[in-house]
């Protein structure tokens, strides 16, 4: 199956037929006319005709309708997923929101420009065993930064100068500020699991966060983690982030 682009209403119209009226994080379903049932019916009919005219929904002749295989799979997985991995990436040129929904045997990647809105969504098949690589494919590729790992005080996610005044601590704070101030993007990867479709969702309590820096001397990608009032920035290439995300998912699965 090749990828395709659909409107949120097109995807929601079909996902509702599979029981996925509400979508799971990070996407929210689109708004429909609420003034009257008639207004909503007209809107749904217009969306159905869009699907028909684009060949994404075909009448099979026996009274049933056949959806495009990828669109149909996405509509089903939005309701039947047991694992979902997600990424939100912010950069000056725009935001990327992506998720891979899977049921263990099949997976689909959904990509948009925001969590909720009218922008279209991009659908692509995804390997259910490697969702995090598929997520990172949606953002600019960056090599690991060249700085040594640094650990600095942080309050509520903000770097703080209220720490040791040793030479190493001062240098770590300088490096951390350089990386943040020269940032070209910031992302976070999360995961949610459930034992079966419709069962309670278990959201991983921690995220895998990363920062992209354009610093001339130490620029690149860094994993950003917080623990015990400190923030750590460590060089992180693609493999490092994928491995960290798999550990996060394993922890979530155990907790569930």
Residue 212 CA to residue 214 CA, distance in Å, equals: 7
The structure tokens listed for 212 are 């992209």
pLDDT score of 157: 56
pLDDT score of 163: 59
The angle formed by the CA atoms of residues 119, 123 and 125, to the nearest 5 degrees, is 165
pLDDT score of 183: 95
- Residue 189, strand partner residues: 87, 208
Residue 25 CA to residue 190 CA, distance in Å, equals: 10
DSSP string covering 99-148: EEEE-SS-EEEEEESSSSSS--EEEEE--TT-HHHHHHTTS---PBPSSP
pLDDT score of 178: 94
End-to-end CA distance of the chain: give it in Å, rounded. 32
| Cβ-contact 85, 249 below 8 angstroms | yes
pLDDT score of 65: 83
| Cβ-contact 192, 25 below 8 angstroms | yes
Phi/psi for 200 (5° steps) reads -60, 140
- Say which residue the tokens 């098949």 belong to: 125
Full-model pTM: 0.91
Residue 26 CA to residue 19 CA, distance in Å, equals: 18
- Say which residue the tokens 């659908």 belong to: 123
pLDDT score of 111: 98
DSSP string covering 145-165: PSSPPEEEEEETTEE-S-S--
pLDDT score of 253: 61
For the chain, residues with pLDDT lower than 70 are 1, 155-165, 253-256
pLDDT score of 73: 95
Beta-carbon contacts of 242 under 8 Å, excluding residues fewer than 6 positions away, are: 130, 132, 133, 136
Residue 5 CA to residue 165 CA, distance in Å, equals: 53
Residue 128 CA to residue 104 CA, distance in Å, equals: 6
| Cβ-contact 234, 149 below 8 angstroms | yes
pLDDT score of 89: 98
- Say which residue the tokens 């070209």 belong to: 184
Of the candidates 148, 217, 152, 140, the residue with the CA atom closest to the CA atom of residue 182? 217
pLDDT score of 252: 77
pLDDT score of 233: 97
What pLDDT digit, counting tens, does each position of 46-76 carry? 999 999 999 999 987 777 888 999 999 999 9
Of the candidates 85, 93, 89, the residue with the CA atom closest to the CA atom of residue 115? 89
pLDDT score of 37: 81
């Amino acid at each position: 199956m090749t990828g395709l682009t659909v409107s949120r209403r097109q995807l929601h119209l079909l996902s509702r037929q599979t029981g996925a009226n509400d979508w799971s994080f990070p996407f929210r379903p689109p708004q429909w006319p609420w003034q009257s049932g008639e207004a909503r019916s007209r809107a749904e009919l217009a969306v159905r005709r869009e699907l028909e005219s684009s060949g994404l929904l075909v009448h099979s002749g026996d009274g049933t309708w056949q959806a495009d295989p990828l669109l149909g799979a996405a509509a089903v997985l939005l309701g039947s997923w047991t694992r979902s991995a997600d990424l939100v990436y912010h950069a000056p040129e725009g935001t990327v929101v992506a998720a891979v929904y899977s049921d263990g045997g099949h997976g689909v990647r959904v990509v948009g420009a925001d969590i909720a809105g009218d922008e279209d969504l991009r659908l692509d098949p995804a390997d259910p065993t490697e969702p995090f690589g598929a997520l990172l494919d949606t953002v600019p590729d960056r090599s690991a930064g060249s700085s040594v790992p640094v650990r600095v005080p942080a309050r509520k996610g903000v770097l703080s100068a209220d720490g040791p005044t040793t030479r190493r601590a001062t240098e770590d704070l300088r490096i951390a500020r350089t990386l943040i101030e020269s940032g070209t993007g910031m992302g976070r990867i999360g995961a949610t699991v459930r034992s079966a479709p419709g069962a309670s969702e278990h959201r991983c309590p921690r995220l895998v966060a990363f920062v992209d820096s354009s610093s001339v001397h130490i620029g690149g990608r860094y994993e950003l983690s917080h623990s015990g009032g400190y923030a750590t920035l460590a060089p992180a290439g693609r493999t490092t982030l994928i491995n960290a995300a798999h550990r996060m998912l394993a922890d979530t699965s155990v907790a569930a």
